[in-house]
Amino acid sequence: MISYLRSFITNSPTGLISYADYINAVLYHPDLGYYMKNKQKIGGKGDFITTSNISDIYGRMVAKWFAAICKKNNLEPNFCEIGAGNGRFAYAFLQEWETSFQTPIKYMIVESSPYHLRLQSELLEPHYPIIQVNKLDDLQSFNGMVFSNELFDALPVHVIEKQKGQLYEVMIGMKNDTLYEVNMPLTHPAILSFIEETGFELTNEQRLEVPLLMAGMVEDISRVLKKGIVVTADYGYTKEDWKHPSRRKGSLRGYYQHKMVENVLENPGEMDITSHIHFDWLIKKGEQTGLMFESKLRQDEFLLKAGILKELENHYDPNPFSEVSKRNRAIRSLIMPAGISSFFHLVIQQKGLNDCSLFEA
């Protein structure tokens, strides 16, 4: 990866590349990118963990909730997951669907990583028919639901910074195989449009990630979904949240062997890189493309509204290693105030639905 970056940066017109170019290279290069490599990334032997890998209850709850929405809105059971990782969420979802519902479901996965495509096939295809594609444009438009879990946080972002009253874009150079930052006066028209449209006013020495690719992704989702629901599960901030002093340095982080790395120029191609998403921008871009905002809930709030407490087994089992005990602990971990769910929000958008009461009263 270092030799590739050396060539990439040296051959760029200014001898510098943007953070978006860097993140795209180290995460998504077809051969050298972190997500593309044949390397475990999720779970104990990887670099990070997701809700789906804690318990199957998350996938099962979304399956039940989706079934209720389909029934209420006479919606075809077509479910599209973008960025399905190792397939654990899909497996739990499809298990619940097979057990609880008689209607056949069409389960589509959009995945760019050959490694994850293989893991998904190995886990799912012996049991369930699935459709795998590399990008949303490969799908015919459909009615149903588009779901993503920690998708937008992994999109490449530009980085800007304010110094002495002037806005700069933070660029990346390389010398003696060492990557370094350079502040260049901000001239990128799309970034300037983002600042104007959002009304962001950075304070001196404040740094911010700019998610230009988010708009295109939202447009692609709206184009493929004729009618239904879009659920985006991710961590992020509102415009007001970004103003908090603790966020003055931005949110760009790396994760390497379950440890947070503040300098994302370390270990290029060997670690995950994420940033908190702009919820207000996501909602605004959705509404501009026909995806109407319905609600933003913390993940634990969503699970409670979806009926997770009904899943708790009432009887006591003295064996802490039994399936009942393990399931109950997993449920409690997902709804505890300080648990993993408190860090995630679900943004729910709809397109063309008459009955938008998404939860039972």
User: Mind listing the pLDDT tens digit for each residue in 259-302?
Assistant: 889 999 999 999 999 999 999 999 999 999 999 999 999 998 99
Rounded CA-CA distance 15/339 in Å is: 44
For the chain, the average pLDDT equals 90
Task: Quickly state the pLDDT bin for 3 (edges 50, 70, 90).
Answer: very high
Tell me which residue range forms the domain holding 76: 49-156+212-235+278-351
Rounded CA-CA distance 227/341 in Å is: 28
pLDDT in tens, 123-135: 998 899 999 999 9
Domain presence at residue 339: yes
pTM: 0.91
Domain presence at residue 35: no
Closest CA to 94 of 108, 113, 111: 108
pLDDT in tens, 58-84: 999 999 999 999 999 999 999 999 999
Domain presence at residue 142: yes
Token pair of 75 as six digits: 């919606």
Strand-pair category, 131-133 with 225-234: unpaired
> Are 64 and 77 a contacting pair, CB within 8 Å?
no
Task: Quickly state the pLDDT bin for 256 (edges 50, 70, 90).
Answer: confident
The whole-number pLDDT of residue 37 equals 83
Rounded CA-CA distance 97/57 in Å is: 13
Task: Quickly state the pLDDT bin for 326 (edges 50, 70, 90).
Answer: confident
Rounded CA-CA distance 86/122 in Å is: 10
Closest CA to 253 of 108, 153, 357, 106: 153
Domain presence at residue 200: no
Closest CA to 138 of 183, 190, 84, 82: 82
First to last CA, the chain: 53
Structural domain count of the chain:
1
Q: Any idea what the CATH number is for the domain that residue 62 is in?
A: 3.40.50.12710
Domain presence at residue 304: yes
Name the percent of the chain lying above pLDDT 70: 90
Residue 328 has pLDDT above 80, yes or no: no
The whole-number pLDDT of residue 52 equals 62
Domain presence at residue 97: yes
DSSP for 107-125, please give it. Answer: EEEE---HHHHHHHHHHHT
